[in-house]
Structure 1
Amino acid sequence: MTKFPTRLLEARMKSTLTLNQVSEATGVDVSIINRLETGEYNAEPIILCTLASLYGVSADWLIGSINNPDRTLSENEKAAAAAIRSYDLTAFLEQPFVHNGKPLNREAKKKLYVMAQLLLDQDE
């Protein structure tokens, strides 16, 4: 099962909107929203984007592609991305990376940097 139904329901609960209110705000039928939240129906892209916008989260977060529901990157994420793009290992190593609640050590950060560079080089 995908994360989408769970995250969609979580986003609606955090917004404190009822199914009827979401339906009124988006024009999506209540039964469709309910089926999306229970995983019985897959969202069309336009519905996905509409709901993400209403709830103030990213569509990527709703579908489980990322773990940060915010639409924008944090300052640390922006700094890490800039360091990768500019091939600045020193700046990258200064970033406070955490995995499973524990900070990454210097060697783990180096491995992460190399993997990120490999992925970026593949796309070129």
Structure 2
Amino acid sequence: MNLKEIRVSRKLKVQEVSDYLCCLPSVYSRYENGKREPSIDILLKLSKLYGVSVDYLIGNDEVIDTSITEKEAAMISAMRQADERARQDAIALLELHTVNKKI
């Protein structure tokens, strides 16, 4: 995570961020310099302040798309309305046609 880069891009001073976090500027400077790990509470506050996700703050660049398409939503709706036998048949059919994706 590069907290200093984010802070500078937001035109904030160390004192302003440390006041927001209710900590000493020296403590926040240690977060920026990697000499101290921020707690989850601090990460959540920084996420809100900087307008970025906690994942972004901790350097998790992998983005997982959790949205669903209209077809997937229709399948879920149909599945919920189907009887148990139809659900099992649908799952079995889909599993037969599963495509192995390269990761």
Q: TM-score range by the shorter chain?
A: 0.5 to 0.7
Match among 7, 11, 14 for residue 16 of structure 1: 11
Q: How many residues align?
A: 77
Question: Identity of aligned pairs, percent?
Answer: 29
Which of structures 1 and 2 has the bigger CA Rg? 2
Quick check: 1:52–1:59 contact (8 Å CA) kept in 2?
yes
- Distance verdict in 2 for CA 1:67–1:31, change over 3 Å: farther
Which residue does the alignment assign to 1:28? 23
The ranges of structure 1 where at least 4 consecutive aligned residues each deviate by more than 6 angstroms after the TM superposition are none
With normalisation by structure 1, the TM-score equals 0.52
SS at match of 1:86: helix
Structure 2 segments unaligned to the other structure (5+ residues):
74-98
- Distance verdict in 2 for CA 1:12–1:115, change over 3 Å: same
Residue 53 (1) aligns with residue 39 (2): no
Q: Residues of 1 paired with 2:55 and 2:7: CA distance?
A: 16
Which residue does the alignment assign to 2:72? 86
Structure 1 segments unaligned to the other structure (5+ residues):
69-76, 88-109, 117-124
Which residue does the alignment assign to 1:101? none
Give the superposition deviation at 1:28: 2.2
